[in-house]
């Protein structure tokens, strides 16, 4: 039954309202983006996999040549108006960390619930990308995959706040 629920959700588009306006449109006619999940996260028996809808399988051509991907996914478990309206949090859920805006940390509550995780690719086979780990739940909708390119995806002279040092090891 869980599989049927996941597949039913994947068939539904995510509607994301834009923050720009088009000349001549009224507020009631504000433009919207439509984002379709391309697959979902599967976590079973200690394995992590991204299962794409079969129609997106051709998009995986050549991905096996990369070592890492950036996975964009939807925080579907937090998709409530209340959680979307939270704009300040204590990062990492730690009250000892300073109150911080959600755009200045990686909080799972935010206006647009897009998650981003860098994942090591273990194997690509048909419509499945096996990865080392991901901080998303089993069944989480996946929005996009992008290969990690060190020359483009790392910055120079990067600085971070003190609280953003290395997180505690996962238990």
* Per-block mean pLDDT, blocks of 10 residues, the chain (171 long): 39 47 55 89 96 98 98 94 95 94 94 95 98 96 96 82 72 41
Phi, psi of 120 (to 5 degrees): -80, 130
Find, among 142, 149, 150, the residue nearest to 14 by Cα: 142
Q: What pLDDT shows up at residue 97?
A: 94
Distance between start and end Cα atoms, the chain: 30
Residue whose entry in the numeric block shows the structure tokens 């959680």: 83
Task: Kindly report the backbone phi and psi dihedral angles of residue 142, in degrees, each rounded to the nearest multiple of 5, phi listed first.
Answer: -105, 130
State the greatest distance between any 2 C-alpha atoms of the chain, in Å, as a whole number. 54
Residue-level pLDDT at 2:
41
Cβ proximity of 113 and 79 under 8 Å = yes
Look at the pTM and tell me if it is higher than 0.75: yes
pLDDT of residue 166: 67
| pLDDT attached to residue 17 | 45
- Containing 70, the helix (H) or strand (E) segment is strand 68-74
**Beta partners for residue 17, in sequence order:** 32
DSSP 90-119: -GGG-TTSPPEEGGGS--S-SSS-EEEEEE
């Amino acid at each position: 039954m869980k599989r049927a629920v996941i597949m039913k959700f994947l068939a539904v588009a995510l509607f994301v309202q834009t923050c720009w306006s088009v000349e001549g449109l009224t507020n009631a006619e504000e433009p919207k983006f439509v984002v379709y999940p391309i697959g979902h996260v599967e976590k079973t028996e200690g394995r992590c996999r991204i299962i794409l809808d079969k129609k997106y399988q051709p998009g995986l051509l050549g991905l096996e040549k990369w070592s890492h991907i950036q996975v964009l996914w939807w925080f579907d478990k937090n998709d409530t108006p209340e959680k979307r309206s939270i704009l300040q949090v204590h990062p990492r859920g730690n009250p000892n960390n300073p109150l911080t805006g959600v755009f200045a940390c990686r909080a799972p509550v935010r206006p647009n619930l897009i998650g981003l995780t860098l994942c090591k690719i273990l194997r690509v086979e048909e419509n499945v990308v096996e990865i080392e780990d991901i901080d998303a739940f089993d069944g989480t909708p996946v929005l996009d995959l992008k290969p990690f390119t060190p020359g483009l995806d790392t910055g120079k002279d990067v600085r971070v706040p003190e609280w953003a040092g290395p997180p505690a090891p996962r238990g």
